[in-house]
Amino acid sequence: MAAPIAPSKLQALQETITTFLLDPRNHDLLTILKGLRNGLVYGTKVRFPHALVMVLLFRTGTLRSKATQILTATRTHATNLGLFVTLYKTTMLALRHLSPTGKERSADSFVAGALGGYVVFGRGGSGNSVNMQIVVYVFARVVLALAKLAVSDGPLCVVRGEKAREGVGRVAWPLFAGGSWAMVMWLFRWYPEAVQASMRSSMVYLYDNAETWTGIRDFLIHNK
């Protein structure tokens, strides 16, 4: 067996690593590595409980196959999020160094996001359900953010006047919510194959499975 590292050597190693981590000259490289770490951890935290619930509730198969589906979805989410953060931060760093002023420009984040989104989440097409869920989630948040900016003071404001903004603000969310649910229920009713698979599965459980039962057991306890 290898001899254990002496406490003094372990402390010296720790101090060396800490000095390297706190050296401003290493900051840019370390932000990329820290971003990769954070993407992997966050992706795991977000996807694992979601996949656990969705697979156990709505997927059929053995426990082994369900466990494989959960772990595959978690690995895909964590890996892709980690890769995106890494590519985004690397691109931002490269663009900053290419800038004539050596500083970040307003369009850099747009370019870096587009590149990362295309390479990590776009190249596999819409067949990857995990990537599709992530992109759709991001898109929904972008729409809401742009809607807020449209009625706020700033360069992206398209509704002028305080009273006009207040009026739009009062009706915007109810109309958005009603329109969203109107469209998804219409699509599910007449074009269910167009609805994303996991959402379609949830809607089948909520609406279609409420149509039939044979007795008290599958009326109250479980579906058919």
2-14 pLDDT per residue, tens: 566 677 889 999 9
Q: Which residues of 25-59 are buried (b: 16+ CB within 10 A; e: fewer)?
A: eeeeeeebeebbeebbeebbebbbebbbebbeeee
Give the predicted TM-score (pTM) of the model: 0.81
Among 59, 78, 79, CA closest to 68: 59
Residue 36: the pLDDT is 96
Question: Please, which pLDDT band fits residue 126 given cuts at 50, 70 and 90?
Answer: low
Residue with the larger pLDDT of the pair 161 and 100? 100
Q: Which helix (H) or strand (E) holds 113?
A: helix 108-116
> pLDDT tens across 102-122, in order?
999 999 999 999 999 999 999
Reduced to 3 states, what is the DSSP secondary structure of residue 162? helix
Extents of the domains making up the chain: 23-123, 161-213
